[in-house]
């Protein structure tokens, strides 16, 4: 008999995640942000009791036993249905055919749903079709909303990177838009964004943003 389950992080790390989950799912917030977790385990497998207790305590992730061996496609459909419910029907068919099979013993599923209102809302009339670049020399027409506004803005010269903050109502949460300089050699400009993982770059992004007048276009 094989027993599955391991949580090797320290108690403090799990407790921090527990607090984060509670803060995210706060019913008193000015936005809706739901984080839902669930374990789907093969009904013939055995899981460590301590593992199941910890996932429930810290992550509110209960175990749902399913028949991966006998009916993997039915399990996939059940998981997709749960995700769809948790995300207000926004995420459909999260798991594609073949994602789980007869060898699957445990699937940890995480679903996030967010709904918030901009502090500086876009006017419905300020919408028009604009080109959106998907490759170096290729664009597609899309509907974009636009506005001119003074917004928190930062520029990191070392990485030729512009950062714009779009706060939501209540200013508890914000969307951050990172815009790297367009490359001249055809290389992916998003590589510059990945380089921000270094601690020195993180410190630079945390510096005070200056309110700057910007003309902003966003895909609807």
How would DSSP label each residue in 177-215?
A: EEEEPPPSSS--THHHHHGGGSHHHHHHHTSPPEEEEEE
Answer for the pair 55, 40: CB distance below 8 angstroms, yes or no.
no
Reading the chain (220 residues) residue by residue, the pLDDT tens digits are 344 554 555 566 667 767 777 776 677 778 888 888 999 999 999 999 988 998 888 888 999 999 999 999 999 999 999 999 999 899 999 999 999 999 999 999 988 888 999 999 999 999 999 999 887 788 999 999 999 999 999 888 877 888 899 999 988 888 988 888 776 665 666 666 666 655 455 565 566 678 888 888 888 7
The pLDDT of residue 1 is 38
The pLDDT of residue 126 is 93
The pLDDT of residue 35 is 81
User: Where does 127-219 sit in CATH, by number?
Assistant: 2.30.39.10
The pLDDT of residue 145 is 94
Q: For residues 187 and 190, what is the distance between their CA atoms, to the nearest angstrom?
A: 9
Q: Where in the chain is the domain with CATH 2.30.39.10?
A: 127-219
Give the bridge partners for 38, in sequence order: 62, 109
The structure tokens listed for 205 are: 């992004």
Rounded to two decimals, what is the model's pTM? 0.69
Looking at the domain 3-115, which fold is it?
Antithrombin; Chain I, domain 2 (3.30.497)
The structure tokens listed for 209 are: 């943003």
The pLDDT of residue 120 is 93
Half-sphere exposure of 56 (CA within 13 A, CB side): 10
The pLDDT of residue 172 is 85
CA distances from 219 to 22, 128, 131, 143 (A): 31, 10, 10, 6
Q: For residues 166 and 119, what is the distance between their CA atoms, to the nearest angstrom?
A: 8
Q: For residues 15 and 8, what is the distance between their CA atoms, to the nearest angstrom?
A: 13
Q: Where in the chain is the domain with CATH 3.30.497.10?
A: 3-115
């Amino acid at each position: 008999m094989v027993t599955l389950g391991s949580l090797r992080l320290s108690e403090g790390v799990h407790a921090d995640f527990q607090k984060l989950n509670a803060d995210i799912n706060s019913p008193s917030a000015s936005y809706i942000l739901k984080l839902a977790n669930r374990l789907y385990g093969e009904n013939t497998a055995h899981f460590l009791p301590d593992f199941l207790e910890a996932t429930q305590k810290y992550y509110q992730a209960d175990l749902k036993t399913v028949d991966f061996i006998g009916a993997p496609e039915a399990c996939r459909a059940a998981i997709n249905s749960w995700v769809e419910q948790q995300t207000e029907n926004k995420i459909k068919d999260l798991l594609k055919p073949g994602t789980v099979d007869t060898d699957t013993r445990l699937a940890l599923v995480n679903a996030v749903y967010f709904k918030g209102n901009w502090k500086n809302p876009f006017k419905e009339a300020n919408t028009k079709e604009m080109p959106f670049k998907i490759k170096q020399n290729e664009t597609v027409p899309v509907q974009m909303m636009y506005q001119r506004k003074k917004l928190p803005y930062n520029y990191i010269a070392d990485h030729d990177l512009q950062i714009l903050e779009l706060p939501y109502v209540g200013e508890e949460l914000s969307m951050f838009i990172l815009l790297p300089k367009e490359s001249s050699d055809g290389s992916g400009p998003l590589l510059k964004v990945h380089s921000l993982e270094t601690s020195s770059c993180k410190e630079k992004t945390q510096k005070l943003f200056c309110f700057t007048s910007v003309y902003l276009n966003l895909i609807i």
